[in-house]
Amino acid sequence: MQSKRADEIGARLTAKFATRDPYEIAEGLGIHIYKEDFQRLKGMYRVIKRRRCIFLNSNLPEHKARIVCAHEIGHDQLHREFAKGDGLQEFMIYQMTSRREYEANIVAASILLPDDEVTDYIYNYHYDAEQIARVMNTDINLVALKISHLRSEGHALRELEHNPRFLK
């Protein structure tokens, strides 16, 4: 039931800060965001001298940077104790075989993809995951993850294949 808790955290944050913008949420939480020129890493979350930090790859397209930022907010809310010192230094971002990564992805999906909007596209417009991703300017794999989570919450939706390492 960790994914339910992760989803609730995303919903609580969007309600508290009245936004789905991960940068505004991070600012409201007191998390500092830094852009770095990483070679392979998309982003990481660290606590350095009690300062909560998100590092984002400055070369990412904006829609991916928003996903990574929302994902790292998930780590802040759920896994902060692992981010102190050398923890989470290169946390296997978006590898959903890891419980922590899966939970952070659920927080990101909850922040960026409102349930009612996703289900509206599915039930009323009969959009598939690719169309939803396109219209919501996000990654198809995040949409597939969101649909999978909605299924686990009782929605009668078809399971979609997604690449568990979609932003690796």
pTM of the predicted structure, to 2 decimals: 0.88
Is 40 in contact with 59 (CB distance < 8 Å)?
A: no
Q: Which of 142, 136, 146 is nearest to 163 (CA)?
A: 142
Rounded alpha-carbon distances, angstroms, from residue 6 to 21, 28, 38, 114, 136: 17, 18, 28, 14, 21
DSSP string for residues in 9-41: HHHHHHHHHT---HHHHHHHHT-EEEEE--SS-
- 43-48 β-sheet, strand order: 32-36, 51-57, 43-48
Cβ-based neighbour number of residue 90 at 10 Å: 10
pLDDT in tens, the chain (168 residues): 467 899 999 999 999 999 999 999 999 999 999 999 988 889 999 999 999 999 999 999 999 999 999 999 999 999 888 777 654 444 444 555 688 888 999 999 999 999 999 999 999 999 999 999 999 999 998 999 999 889 888 888 766 555 555 555
